[in-house]
Amino acid sequence: MNIQTETKHAVEQDTVRPSQLIGRSPAARLALFLMVGLFLAVPNIKAETSLAQADKDFILAAAQGGMTEVKLGELAAQKGMRDDVKAFGQMMVKDHTAINDDLKALAVQKGVTLPGSLDSKHQGMVDKMAALTGSAFDDAYVERMIKAHTKDAKAFNAEAAETKDADIKSFVDKSIPVVEDHLKRVTAMKK
């Protein structure tokens, strides 16, 4: 026999498969049992802490609405003829940017990926408003803000009543007074 064959034979003789070690060692069997048990328990833990679909849907809808409010507020600040429309638009940018930032932090915490841009429905709304000028823009903007904030107030109050998630409840409770104040102010602007 040559040296190469002897070395190969010696290596093959000393090779022990991991499955053979586990079979021989009570400690290894216990460790394997615990790892399998942990692996099986993880999906159950995740399921208990996962976000309700209604909460996820609310977060995604609030993100679209909030981004739309900022875009329309920017338009109103630039294109508005009336001083109150311009001032309201500036307030929308400031307040909804703050709400959107809180929503982004909440979404990260809850593992919800927010869209980076408006969906086609909301972008279409912004595009229609951008095409208007003068008093037609002002009137349409005020009407749009009344409609949007009425809808938002209902959605936020419903979410506050329905959610079981304390973090979402806190976000909604903090946001409701802002949305309701916007509704009150823009309703007073209607002429």
pTM: 0.73
Same domain, 16 and 76: no
Same domain, 107 and 164: yes
Per-residue pLDDT at 18: 52
Same domain, 42 and 63: no
Same domain, 86 and 33: no
Same domain, 59 and 120: yes
Same domain, 74 and 167: yes
Same domain, 11 and 96: no
Whole-angstrom CA distances from 12 to 7, 15, 20, 128 are: 9, 5, 14, 77
CATH number, residue 101: 1.20.1260.10
Q: What is the pLDDT of residues 1-57, one digit of tens each?
A: 555 555 555 555 555 555 554 556 666 555 555 555 555 544 443 333 589 999 999
Same domain, 94 and 183: yes
Same domain, 64 and 43: no
Same domain, 81 and 33: no
Number of domains composing the chain: 2
Same domain, 71 and 7: no
Q: What is the pLDDT of residues 74-108, one digit of tens each?
A: 999 999 999 999 999 999 999 999 999 999 999 99
State which residues form the domain around 144: 51-189
Same domain, 132 and 169: yes
